[in-house]
């Protein structure tokens, strides 16, 4: 990843900044949803949407007629945010409470993927993010469905990650206070799969693995 730009240089707690591609990719690859902000000429908007990475680009998809897709395809500058909350950090003073997190911000413009073969390849990657192997089980998208869907990609050239880990950082004058301090860890955990009433056939491997990962 190139050197930080004026937009990606982290000024608040710069010691938490990470500009390496590996750190950025790890945060993106752990996410299912990103938030995209843009200005449409009248007001600002932030819209959550599913996302995935392939190589050095982040991808989203949506209906051709959706507002997000329409605005982003009109050469609008956008910013993308991804955040994972890993814990609440309880210090001895209210002022020094914090959160452990992994976050990334991406700046740039989205471009449409027009090649039909590439669109199908990228949607297979998205399906594998949801459940590895699902792309081979689900009915493939029809020509009509793909014609109604737009896939947009944004380069990861102008981006930065920010990560906080560890315990509280208390003022030295507070260290002897008889107050509990530490971290309340948080993690997203899979739950037992719920079969639809229309489900037919045995559970695929990725569903059984989802069960055992609880």
| Per-residue model confidence as pLDDT tens digits over 117-151 | 999 999 999 999 999 999 999 999 999 999 999 99
Q: What percent of the chain has pLDDT over 70?
A: 99
Please tell me the predicted confidence (pLDDT) of residue 65.
85
Please tell me the predicted confidence (pLDDT) of residue 147.
92
pLDDT band at 25 (very low <50, low <70, confident <90, very high): very high
pLDDT band at 163 (very low <50, low <70, confident <90, very high): very high
Please tell me the predicted confidence (pLDDT) of residue 92.
97
Six token digits for residue 45:
């908007």
Please tell me the predicted confidence (pLDDT) of residue 3.
77
Please tell me the predicted confidence (pLDDT) of residue 74.
81
CATH of 14-87+99-169, one of 3.20.20.140, 2.30.110.10, 3.40.50.11540, 3.40.50.300: 2.30.110.10
Look at residue 101 and tell me whether its pLDDT is greater than 60: yes
Each as own residue / partner, the long-range contacts of residues 25-31 (CB below 8 Å, 24 or more positions apart, any chain) are: 25/53, 25/156, 26/102, 27/82, 27/84, 27/102, 27/103, 27/104, 27/161, 27/163, 28/53, 28/58, 28/82, 28/104, 28/156, 29/53, 30/84, 30/102, 31/82, 31/84
Look at residue 1 and tell me whether its pLDDT is greater than 60: no
Average pLDDT score over residue span 88-92? 98
Distances 143 to 119, 127, 147, 148, 195 between C-alpha atoms, Å: 11, 17, 6, 9, 28
Kindly report the pTM of this predicted structure: 0.91
CA–CA separation, 210 vs 201, rounded Å? Answer: 17
Look at residue 87 and tell me whether its pLDDT is greater than 80: yes
């Amino acid at each position: 990843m190139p050197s930080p730009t004026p937009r990606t240089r982290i000024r608040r707690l710069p010691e938490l900044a990470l500009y390496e591609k590996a750190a950025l990719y790890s945060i993106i690859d752990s996410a299912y949803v990103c938030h995209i902000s843009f200005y449409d000429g009248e007001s600002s908007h932030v819209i959550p949407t599913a996302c995935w990475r392939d190589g050095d680009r982040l991808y989203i998809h949506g209906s051709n007629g959706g507002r997000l897709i329409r605005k982003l395809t009109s050469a609008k500058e956008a910013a993308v945010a991804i955040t994972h909350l890993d814990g609440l950090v309880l210090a001895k003073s209210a002022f020094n409470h914090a959160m452990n997190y992994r976050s990334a911000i991406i700046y740039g413009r989205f471009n449409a993927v027009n090649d039909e073969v590439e669109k199908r390849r990228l949607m297979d990657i998205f399906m594998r993010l949801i459940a590895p192997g699902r792309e081979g089980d689900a009915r493939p998208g029809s020509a009509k469905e793909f014609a109604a869907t737009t896939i947009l990609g944004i380069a990861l050239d102008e981006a930065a990650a920010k990560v906080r880990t560890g315990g509280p950082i208390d003022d030295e004058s507070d260290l002897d206070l008889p107050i509990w301090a530490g971290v309340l860890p948080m993690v997203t955990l899979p739950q037992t799969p719920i079969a639809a009433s229309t489900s037919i056939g045995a559970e695929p491997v990725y569903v059984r693995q989802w069960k055992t990962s609880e």
